[in-house]
Amino acid sequence: MLVLVAPGQGAQTPGFLTPWLDLPGLSERLGAWSDAAGIDLVRYGTTADADEIRDTAVAQPLLVAAGLVSAYALFGDDLVGAVKEQTGAVAGHSVGELTAAALTGVLSPEEALRLVRERGLAMAEAAAVTETGMSAVLGGDPDAVVAHLQGLGLTPANINGGGQIVAAGTAAQLAALAEDKPEKARVIPLKVAGAFHTTHMEPAVATLAAKVKELTPADPATPYVSNKDGQVVTFGQEVVDRLVGQVANPVRWDLCMETFTAHGATALVELLPGGTLTGLAKRAMRGTKTVALKTPDDLTAAREAIEEARA
């Protein structure tokens, strides 16, 4: 069984979309989606610098659009039908959950991009209230790391498995963490613009809750694994409700990977810009074949992984 996953914020790098625009139709697709996304997706994905694409209001729609264009390149125009036929489960990390919602037909690509634009703006506004951020904690005993973070007033915002927990909080709290690391752990500051998936994001939850009332979500065509608790969600409205609440709740990617394994995953393909989630899977899902889409050259390996998983 193959799992299709979409990465979250921080995976973007300057120019990462450039080689993909040579594929037929992708430049036009991105151009058409730019109105829904509220930004020039082509420019931000090709010529914008690191500071520009670090902006939450830019990064989030850019990542969803990138994941979707790579999915169309991999599966063809009948995206929802092909994903249903060729994969066993779909999930996304943080903002990647909106990509996953479009892959399973819960939302159309245009709806996902309009919603992620509102999400990015609302989260950027919430992040501006207090100077906050996130740092990755690598290694150490997971329970001890969580207790250490909580002792410093930080939130374990992403429990990613594979020896990685992401701490979120104020700049002062993160500075204290840098000076007082958990035992046998390294701390790496992340290039994100706020303490996502914490109570600092509560104002964004209220904004999104109002926006999603305009949507009529469909039930997912492919099993959709939620960041909230790693459970498979079968109703479209529940997917959308979880997307809203997840802005201020921790990401439990560790539980998502446990679900993939329990359901018999033998392969995992990570959409553009891939690398982060395949890296976690290599450590936590040993023996699972992984493919990260970074350039169009990776499409062949992804197609081979799909065929092998279906055999």
108 catalytic residue (yes or no): no
Q: Is the pLDDT of residue 158 over 80?
A: yes
Domain-terminating residue out of 143, 168, 189:
189
Among residues 86, 91, 89, 95, which one has the least CA distance to residue 65? 95
Are residues 294 and 277 located together in one domain of the fold? yes
Give the pLDDT of residue 41. Answer: 97
Instruction: Evaluate whether 80 touches 105 at the Cβ level (below 8 Å).
Output: yes
pLDDT digits (tens, 9 = 90+) for 53-89: 999 999 999 999 999 999 999 999 999 999 999 999 9
SS3 137: strand
Are residues 40 and 122 located together in one domain of the fold? yes
> Is the residue at 268 inside a domain?
yes
Are residues 79 and 162 located together in one domain of the fold? no
Are residues 185 and 262 located together in one domain of the fold? no
Are residues 161 and 239 located together in one domain of the fold? no
Q: Which domain holds residue 156?
A: 132-189
* Cα–Cα distances in angstroms (integers) from residue 43 to residues 21, 113, 187, 250, 311, in the given order: 11, 16, 33, 32, 40
197 catalytic residue (yes or no): yes
Domain-terminating residue out of 160, 189, 218:
189
Are residues 112 and 251 located together in one domain of the fold? yes
Mean residue pLDDT across the chain: 95
Q: Is the pLDDT of residue 311 over 80?
A: no
DSSP string, 190-226: ---SS-TTSGGGHHHHHHHHHHGGG--PPPPSS-EE-
Instruction: Evaluate whether 157 touches 133 at the Cβ level (below 8 Å).
Output: no
- C-beta atoms surrounding 189 within 10 Å: 14
Dihedral, CA of residue 176, residue 229, residue 225 and residue 293, to nearest 10: 20
Domain CATH code at residue 175: 3.30.70.250
Counting DSSP H helices and E strands in the chain, the numbers are 14, 10
Give the pLDDT of residue 165. Answer: 96
The arithmetic mean of pLDDT across residues 104-127, rounded, is: 95
Are residues 114 and 214 located together in one domain of the fold? yes
> Is the residue at 288 inside a domain?
yes
Are residues 119 and 216 located together in one domain of the fold? yes
Are residues 241 and 266 located together in one domain of the fold? yes
Length of the chain: 311
> Is the residue at 145 inside a domain?
yes
The arithmetic mean of pLDDT across residues 294-309, rounded, is: 96
> Is the residue at 282 inside a domain?
yes
Are residues 70 and 88 located together in one domain of the fold? yes
List the beta strands (DSSP E) in the chain.
2-6, 89-92, 132-139, 155-161, 164-170, 185-189, 224-225, 232-233, 267-270, 289-292
pTM above 0.85, yes or no: yes
> Is the residue at 143 inside a domain?
yes
> Is the residue at 117 inside a domain?
yes
Are residues 97 and 237 located together in one domain of the fold? yes
State the pLDDT confidence band at 310, using cuts at 50, 70 and 90: confident
The arithmetic mean of pLDDT across residues 277-300, rounded, is: 96
SS3 236: helix
- Which one is catalytic: 94, 135, 148, 226? 94
Report phi then psi at 136, rounded to 5: -85, 135
Domain-terminating residue out of 189, 216, 237:
189
DSSP 262: H
Domain CATH code at residue 227: 3.40.366.10
> Is the residue at 150 inside a domain?
yes
1 or 311: whose pLDDT is higher? Answer: 1
Are residues 116 and 208 located together in one domain of the fold? yes
> What's the structural domain count of the chain?
2
Instruction: Evaluate whether 117 touches 63 at the Cβ level (below 8 Å).
Output: no
Q: What is the spatial distance between Cα 29 and Cα 170, in angstroms, rounded to a whole number?
A: 39
Q: What is the spatial distance between Cα 45 and Cα 25, in angstroms, rounded to a whole number?
A: 16
> Is the residue at 194 inside a domain?
no
- Which one is catalytic: 148, 197, 200, 226? 197
Q: Is the pLDDT of residue 191 over 90?
A: no
